[in-house]
Structures are given as structure tokens and as C-alpha cells.
Amino acid sequence: MKTIPITPRGEQAKKQLIAAALAQFGEYGLHATTRDIAKMAGQNIAAITYYFGSKEDLYIACAQSIADFIGDNFRPHTQAAEQLLAQPSADKAAIRQLILRACKNMIMLLTRDETLNLSKFISREQLSPSRAYQLIHDQVIAPLHCTLTRLIAACTGRDASDTQTILHTHALLGQILAFRFGRETILLRTGWTGFDEDNVREIQQVICCHLDLILQGLTQRDQQ
């Protein structure tokens, strides 16, 4: 990717191009055209070459933008997790509360309309991964997945490196992701027209219930 001095106006142009690119790439993948991206961003097509170098470099810039967004939104949770996990004995009540806060935050982000293009981009990369997914995975998904696995392990007495613990962690995340990637199903089944504050709160309550069932079930299962 090109490195050039960027003015405040240039920063704004880059943000507009990345936002438009996320929408176009989320919908069409790399089949999206630079002409359509520039038009949506309200920029000259030459701006893509000037700021990013190529369409492929713009695609990677979108991945970096996603990684930065996820990292910024979950940094407080990861920092709190490291403090809890550094303690000589696990404070299970505090760990549960932290997992719940992180899950609630994830639900809130995934039910926002403005994160839809981000979700489409990641969904495409999950199904047909490129080096863009590897960037997002290495920078934020793997560290966050690992941290959540360690928290669940500390809360239940399981081994964080055990494949089953990793799978249980992934299954918990999948329940939350279902409200994004199964959005239309849940809207039709509930009769909701969208995710307003009350609906999001109701989803959070369900996930809280499921989280307790998972933590209690895993703890009891290992004690038997």
C-alpha cells in the first residue's frame, strides 16, 4: 500500500472510500468496480490509486479498518480479562460478568445497521478466505477468541487448550452471530421490523440465560 502524507481533507477522502468499498466489497467481493466505489464515495476514481495504490490494496485497507474497529470496541474487555486471568485464583463471579458484558457489547454492535457492511465483508472472507481474512484473524479474531476461551476455562475449571473448550467457546459466539447472519429469520419469526433498544435488550437477556446454562453445565459436567 502506498504511504503518502495525508491532509485532513485527504483523511476524510480515505474514510469515504473505505466506507464505500466496504459496502461494495461486502456485496460483490473483488468483483466490485473501482468506478462504483469512487462514485459511492463521491470521489474521483483516481483517488483510489492515489491513496491506496490498487483495488486489491483498498480491499486490504478495508480489512485493516475492520480489525481496528473490532479492536477498539473490545479493548476494554481484553484488558479487564488480562487483569482477571493474572489473579492467583479465579474470581468466577467477576469472570461471568466480564463475559456477559463482552457478549452484550457484541450483540449491540451486530444489531446496528451501520455494521451490516462490515458483517457482509467478514462473512465473504469466512467462506472464501484471502489474506484479508488472515489479517483480521491474526490481529483481533484469534486474540479475542483465545481470551474468551481462557475466561470460560477459568470459570468452569476446564483446560483452555482443550479442543472441546474451544468448540464450546465458538458455539457461544455462534449464538450471538446468529442474530446478524440469521437476521431476516428472527425478524419474520418475531414480527419485529428491526432491532430497537427493547429488542436488543431481549436478545441480551436470552444470551445471558444461555451463558449461565453453558457455564453451569460445563462446570457440573467436569465435576461428575
Q: Where along the chain do its domains lie?
A: 1-53, 60-223
Q: What single letter denotes the amino acid at residue 76? A: P
Instruction: Please tell me the distance from the alpha carbon of residue 160 to that of residue 10, in angstroms, as a whole number.
Output: 45
DSSP state of 138: I
Contact 48, 78 (CB under 8 A): no
Instruction: Please tell me the distance from the alpha carbon of residue 42 to that of residue 16, in angstroms, as a whole number.
Output: 8
The tens digit of pLDDT for each residue in 58-116 reads 999 999 999 999 999 999 999 999 999 999 998 999 999 999 999 999 999 999 999 99
DSSP state of 137: I
Q: pLDDT class for 9, splitting at 50, 70, 90?
A: confident
Instruction: Please tell me the distance from the alpha carbon of residue 108 to that of residue 73, in angstroms, as a whole number.
Output: 11
Q: Which three cell numbers stand for residue 133?
A: 481474512
Provide the pLDDT for residue 5: 60
- A 10 A CB-CB count for 201 gives 12
What CA–CA distances, in Å, run from 60 to 117, 135, 170, 223?
15, 8, 26, 46
Contact 116, 141 (CB under 8 A): no
- A 10 A CB-CB count for 109 gives 18
The tens digit of pLDDT for each residue in 13-31 reads 999 999 999 999 999 999 9
Provide the pLDDT for residue 220: 83
Q: Which CATH architecture has domain 60-223?
A: Orthogonal Bundle (1.10)
Residue 88 has, within 13 A of its CA and on its CB side, a CA count of 0
Q: pLDDT class for 7, splitting at 50, 70, 90?
A: confident
Instruction: Please tell me the distance from the alpha carbon of residue 84 to that of residue 111, in angstroms, as a whole number.
Output: 28
Provide the pLDDT for residue 1: 47
DSSP state of 75: H
The tens digit of pLDDT for each residue in 119-175 reads 999 999 999 999 999 999 999 999 999 999 999 999 999 999 999 999 999 999 999
Q: Which CATH code is given to the segment(s) 1-53?
A: 1.10.10.60
Whether 1-53 and 60-223 share one fold: the answer is no
Asked whether the whole model's pTM tops 0.95, one would answer: no
What CA–CA distances, in Å, run from 103 to 32, 74, 203, 210, 217?
33, 10, 10, 11, 18
